Amino acid sequence: MKNKILIVDDQEINRDILAGILHEDYELVLATNGVEAVEALGEDGNGIALVLLDLVMPELNGYEVLEYANAKGFIEKVPVIVISSEADAKTERKCLDLKVIDFIRKPFDKLAVLRRVENVIKLFTIQHNLEKLVDAKTEEIQKQNEKLAQQASCLKRTNERIIELLGTVVEYRNLESGQHIQRVKGFTKLLAEQLAERYPEYGLTEKRINVIVAASALHDVGKIAISDSILLKPGRLTKEEFEIMKTHTTEGCAIIEHMKGIGASEYEKVSYEIARHHHERYDGGGYPDGLRGDEIPIAAQIVAIADVYDALVSKRCYKDAYGKSEAFRMIMAGECGVFSEKILTCLAKAKENFEALADAYAE
């Protein structure tokens, strides 16, 4: 299929000369003035590969045709070569400002006309093909990114579902209702959001908070390894039994270590930190590692208070539930171990929301 060239010149002899040079290799459209040229170009260039445009014409001159092509926005796709006997710098600058690609001087040189036309059409064909290739690649990349985003979202849901299922197994083993995990997750979220707002140094972005909330469901996963005689004992544990109970922290992180590769690494890391360190205390008086201050991962510090608060306000096989105000007082007074002043400040700010959540998920 031949490329289509529009020749615009009010002089018949000029149209005939150009047509004689180009007719063998191109499909030609002839226009005697600017009005006919605009009609031939239409709204989008009308498939024309190149315009050979005279400047001085009646009714609508060449400059006005160029202004039309610029206004319609197809001048970058339909190249224009000006054919003119005028050679002054002012004329050239004006044409170049209107995005003319080249000039052919009168009288015409056959070889020069053929070479210039051929070169311009080749250049714009390559450019057009590159644009199409870029558009196709961009669309392909967008589709791949959408697919990756869908896969990431699916993986996130799968990770959270696995974590919650494991947590639920522990609850059934521990004879607790399924509300315990939901409460701990809720308390964790409330506390983390307060901490993110007041203490940006912890880097608690929305994404990181969501990971911590999901991972909090595994804080007691190590209790799977504790015998029923200790886990379900209705009375106070002996010193030896309590030492065994404390191993649920190390057993929990060992279980999570064995899960490596099943879920996303960010979930594995935070789940490990929470399972191992949610019984550490800010003064170093916790277990299993006796970590002190901010040696304790912030995720574990948050879940520690969430877990303690829920343990206090919930009835267990070995105790009755404390009132919500009393539970708050005990934590703030240090009766349940020493916690970070920053986190206690956040707990105080979230007190009413904690109590509302406890009521919403009551046993």
Question: Looking at the annotation, which residues are catalytic?
Answer: 223
Nearest residue to 187 via CA among 16, 13, 328, 294: 328
Q: Give the contacts of 57 (CB within 8 A, at least 6 positions apart).
A: 8, 9, 10, 33, 34
